[in-house]
Amino acid sequence: MRLVLVGPPGAGKGTQAQFVASNLSIPKISTGDIFRANVSGGTELGKLAKEYMDRGDLVPDEVTIAMVRDRLAEKDAQDGFLLDGFPRNVPQAEILKKILAEFGAGLDLVLELVVDDEEVVRRLAGRRTCSQCGRIWHVDFDDKKDDVCDACNGKLYQRDDDKEETVRHRLEVYQEQTAPLVSFYADEGILVGVDATGPVEEVTRRAMEALSPYAG
């Protein structure tokens, strides 16, 4: 099965990508992994990407796309894969369609993790990081009443990334880019939404249930 996973920050996308891919016995292909593999493997694309990153610049789309194409051409991806982190927008979705067409294939399904904005804010803005050991606690889920790490007694703080206004901004950016992507796949008739609230195992179970009519 050829799958794409989309979902807002804080939806637990990385975790679900791993569980769903392993349940379906297909490789999980994330752009982060592809990047690291190319850079540490010293490929031409990796060297190119590293030049941009070392300068503090964004790696251009063409480089990312070329890396994704190389990865999808590998043997283990021929019978299926789960893409995480690509495509991010409609132009990339169009390119993915072309790449797969070259291989005589197409996407089977796009799984959208659906989480309410307020739930994302609650999940992310409730995180507190230990300034000493780096461990992350949650004010609600860990019932954290003080600003002290239970593991090392270090002082807890809220990372800038986890501040409510930052989280809301990331959600806005996500909506801007991803709403059109979701409509694009809905128009293609391959979009399936999965409620991503509740325990991790429950979300995986729902995702597998949503996929079952299409699997095999």
Out of 63, 83, 95, 149, the only residue in the binding site for Zn ion (CB under 5 A) is 149
Q: Is 159 known to be catalytic?
A: yes
CB of 131 to Zn ion, least distance (A): 8
d(CA 81, CA 4): 8
Does 141 belong to an annotated binding site?
A: no
d(CA 30, CA 5): 10
Residues 36-75 that bind Zn ion (CB under 5 A): none
Q: Is 2 known to be catalytic?
A: no
CB atoms near residue 106 (< 10 Å):
12
Q: Is 135 known to be catalytic?
A: no
CA angle 133, 135, 136 (to 5 degrees): 150
Catalytic annotation, pick one of 13, 122, 123, 206: 13
Read off φ and ψ for residue 144, nearest 5 degrees. Answer: -85, 115
Catalytic annotation, pick one of 97, 135, 144, 170: 170
Does 10 belong to an annotated binding site?
A: yes
Does residue 27 have a cis peptide bond before it, meaning omega lies within 30 degrees of 0?
no
Q: Is 13 known to be catalytic?
A: yes
Out of 53, 73, 133, 179, the only residue in the binding site for Zn ion (CB under 5 A) is 133
Q: Is 151 in the site for Zn ion (CB under 5 A)?
A: yes
Q: Is 154 in the site for Zn ion (CB under 5 A)?
A: yes
Q: Is 130 in the site for Zn ion (CB under 5 A)?
A: yes
Per-residue exposure over 153-172, b if at least 16 CB sit within 10 Å of its own CB, e if not: ebebebeeebeeebbeebbe
* Contacting residues toward Zn ion, per CB under 5 A: 130, 132-133, 135, 149, 151-152, 154
The catalytic residues are 13, 88, 127, 159, 170
